Amino acid sequence: MPKQYLLTPGPTPVPERAALKMAEPIIHHRTPEFEAILAKVREQLRWLFQTKEEVIMFASSGTGAMEASVSNLLSSGDKALVIKGGKFGERWSEILKAYKIEAIEIPVEWGKSLDLKKVEEALAAHPEIRAVYVQASETSTGVRYPIRELAALVGPRDNTLLVVDAITALGVFPLPMDEWKIDVLVTGSQKALMLPPGLSFAALSQKAWKFAEKSNLPRYYFNFKKELKSLQKNQNAYTPAISLIIGLHEVLSMMQEEGLEKIFERNARMARATREAMLTLGLSLYAPDSPSDAVTAVLVPSGMDAGKIIKHVWEKQGVKIADGQDQAKGKIFRISHMGYIREPDLLIGIAAIEMALKDLGGTVELGKGVGKALEVLKK
């Protein structure tokens, strides 16, 4: 088995520091020892989410907290607005459908950014819309949506929430929940948080907690109110993912040591370096207008199969990058730079892509992409 370099937009590499903590013998969760860890993690999560509200956690992949953000906030007969420009926008629609909530959709062409005017028009045309569901970073297309501007549109409406899936955004670029007045901010453990999959999170504004009081949709495990009550006693309602929460304490400590501003700067720099390296190699960007700093989606020239590049870098170099999904399959590859993916890892990824392009008959000048990335990183 080759040495592996995981450059996918989830799961992402786990720092040794956290892996070692998680490998320690399991402890019981109803103990002062675990409760002390949970108390610290609650504070650290507030720091990460930039909120004074409690951050709820579940033992699930990210989709669990997305589902909870439908089933705990809306009521039968409600309508919701969905920004749909990729796989994860589609997921909001599918969850709403499962709960028989009517979704009004704003389709966004894959790779394109959101036209805020369309949101304004939809909100004006349907004053009954109870929630707007969106991604901060649409991982399937590499697009970043204008959350600050959306929050400014939704904020003044007492009867509408802004629910943001920030699973590849929180801890990558700024999303200050309280300052921007985001009502619900959702994330998961296996992307920017550098942990294995298995934890999902959601923080709710006071406005969102009022919705939670009235919501009448069916739910059992994914219950915000129940978890809030438990967390306030440094407990979870059910058996928590103990080892992952212990790992979470470690990765959040690492993030606090670095500082949010520095993390955001580093991610922006790595994203810029990746984009410029790809352009230098004669490839183009799938989301040139509003790229996410978490993941870069790269369009390969027509006639070339992105799948071949992905297979080649994996088989020859042990570098794992991601495929496009659905309509983007074969057309793009996605290289991630969030979490514990750091500058040297990125250079390995770019070098592997150069070698693949060369082996597959391209006319690349080896080292050109890596050189460009280094230039951007050192600027």
Q: How far is the CB of 166 from ligand PLP (least distance, A)?
A: 8
Closest CA to 284 of 296, 295, 273: 296
- Scan residues 140-159 and list those touching ligand PLP (CB under 6 A): none
- Sketch the per residue contact string, 177 through 196, with ligand PLP: x for CB under 6 A, - otherwise: -----------x--x-----
Q: How far is the CB of 229 from ligand PLP (least distance, A)?
A: 25
Contacts of the segment 224-233: beta carbons below 8 A, 24+ positions apart = 224/56, 224/68, 224/72, 225/72, 227/56, 227/57, 227/58, 228/54, 228/56, 231/38, 231/42, 231/54, 231/56, 231/57, 232/54
Closest to ligand PLP by CB, 168 vs 243, is: 168
Q: How far is Cα 3 from Cα 20, in angstroms, rounded to an integer?
A: 19
Sole window of 105-113, 161-169, 274-282, 300-308 interacting with ligand PLP (rule: CB under 6 A): 161-169
Q: How far is the CB of 138 from ligand PLP (least distance, A)?
A: 6
Nearby residues of 117 by Cβ (< 8 Å), 6 or more positions away: none
- Bond before 11 cis per omega within 30 degrees: yes
- Sketch the per residue contact string, 71 through 110, with ligand PLP: x for CB under 6 A, - otherwise: -----------------x----------------------
Burial 196-224 (b: 16+ CB within 10 A, else e): bbbbbbbbbbebbbebbeebeeebeebbb
Closest to ligand PLP by CB, 317 vs 336, is: 336
Torsion of CA 55, 60, 61, 63, to 10 degrees: -80
62 counts as binding ligand PLP under rule CB under 6 A = yes
Closest to ligand PLP by CB, 65 vs 299, is: 65
168 counts as binding ligand PLP under rule CB under 6 A = yes
Sole window of 162-170, 214-222, 235-243, 355-363 interacting with ligand PLP (rule: CB under 6 A): 162-170
Q: How far is the CB of 72 from ligand PLP (least distance, A)?
A: 17
Report the residue from 167, 185, 313, 335 that binds ligand PLP according to the rule CB under 6 A: 167
Binding stretches for ligand PLP (CB under 6 A) = 10, 61-63, 88, 135, 139, 165, 167-168, 188, 191, 197
